[in-house]
Amino acid sequence: MKIPRNVVVVLAMASILAACSKEQSETAGPLKGTVRVLGSETTGSLVRALTTVFGKDHPQVQFEIENSNSKMGLSATRSGAVDLGMSITELGPDDQDLKAYVIARDGLCMLVNRGNPVEALTDDQIKGIFKGETTSWKDVGGKDAEIERVNHSEVRTTLVRFAHYLDLQVSDMKYSVVVASADSDAIKAVSGNPNAVTYSSIASALQAVAGGSPVKLIGLGGVPPTPENVAAGKVPVVYDVQLVTKGEPKEPIKSFVEFATSAGAAETVKSKSFAPPKS
């Protein structure tokens, strides 16, 4: 049986396309490489969890993750020292060379020792405590004991957001002996001191409680500090949790960012007590 010439041409083209597709697939191979990540400690707990899930499908991709702060993460990404920055700071007009990808949302809350009988604090009471005007717990419904303020270092976005919420300047915040360089330091300080108080990421605080830390969350503005209230925008101080690249990412960074911002990451985001990105 003689095959028509036009059919022969079509079959030949199909064969060539199939061969090219196979060659490209073999050339691409599995994702591999090392991704360097630096920045916000709050973001770090989620990113580590996401890399674990991502690594199940891409075992040849390795991640080197180091906690610091948002400012350092952005700076290191811009200089090329790392591939991904972790940040809770919004990009500004001077960050045109950077690209942010929102992977979750979080908010701020107050944190006291679990043994502290105080269950709520008004904004005025919080302001008085951190301006150094209120010095005893008995003045805000607690025991007759000196309040131990645990403030955050001046390089931290958390401090700036907290001060702004209270309508204070960072210079208005009175420091005590203990100064936290990360949420984990603040949580540890409050865990070991029944008279201490600090402010923290809600996700970080809930993770600490789940891990057995004897701390208690108190909501700002009387709003319960939960991921659900963060998602609903009810928590007074809410912010995006982001990954940042310099320009468009290449593989394997591109695939990880796509996964971290996809619906497939939702369960991991929830498991670490973050709210999902705003839709």
DSSP symbol at 180: E
Residue 13 in any domain: the answer is: no
Q: Look at residue 154 in the predicted model and tell me its pLDDT.
A: 79
Residue 9 in any domain: the answer is: no
Instruction: Give residue-wise pLDDT tens across range 114-163.
Output: 999 999 999 999 999 999 999 999 999 999 999 999 999 877 899 999 99
Q: Look at residue 18 in the predicted model and tell me its pLDDT.
A: 45
Residue 11 in any domain: the answer is: no
Same domain, 40 and 73: yes
Residue 277 in any domain: the answer is: no
Question: 9 pLDDT band (50/70/90 cuts)?
Answer: very low
Same domain, 193 and 253: no
Same domain, 189 and 199: yes
Mean pLDDT of 221-246: 98
Report how far residue 41's alpha carbon sits from residue 218's, in angstroms, rounded to the nearest whole number: 21
Residue 60 in any domain: the answer is: yes
Q: Look at residue 5 in the predicted model and tell me its pLDDT.
A: 52
Same domain, 70 and 148: no
Residue type, 162: F
Instruction: Give residue-wise pLDDT tens across range 197-230.
Output: 999 999 999 999 999 999 999 999 999 999 999 9
Type and span of the H or E element at 34: strand 33-40
Residue 193 in any domain: the answer is: yes
Bridge partner list, 84? 37
Same domain, 158 and 185: yes
Residue 194 in any domain: the answer is: yes
Q: What is the pTM of this model?
A: 0.88
Report the percentage of the chain scoring pLDDT > 70.
90
More confident residue, 2 or 274: 274
* Location of structure tokens 């591109």: 254
Find the distance separating the first CA and the last CA of the chain, reported in whole Å: 60
Same domain, 224 and 250: no
Residue type, 97: D
Same domain, 169 and 86: no
Q: Look at residue 8 in the predicted model and tell me its pLDDT.
A: 40
Question: 80 pLDDT band (50/70/90 cuts)?
Answer: very high
Structural domain span for residue 76: 33-105+240-271
Read off the CATH number of the domain in which 190 is found: 3.40.190.10
- Pinpoint the alpha helices (H) of 135-250: 157-165, 183-191, 202-210, 227-231
Same domain, 210 and 250: no
Q: Look at residue 28 in the predicted model and tell me its pLDDT.
A: 56
Same domain, 50 and 125: no
The secondary structure of 103-133 as a DSSP string is EEEEEEEEEEETT-------HHHHHHHHTTS
C-alpha of 118 from chain center: 28
Same domain, 188 and 226: yes
Domain count, the chain: 2
Mean pLDDT of 10-39: 61
Residue type, 70: S
Q: Does residue 181 register a pLDDT over 90?
A: no
Same domain, 125 and 222: yes
Q: Look at residue 13 in the predicted model and tell me its pLDDT.
A: 45
Residue 197 in any domain: the answer is: yes
Q: Does residue 26 register a pLDDT over 90?
A: no
Report how far residue 245's alpha carbon sits from residue 50's, in angstroms, rounded to the nearest whole number: 17
Q: Does residue 24 register a pLDDT over 90?
A: no
Kindly report the average pLDDT of the chain as a whole number. 90
Report the percentage of the chain scoring pLDDT > 90.
83
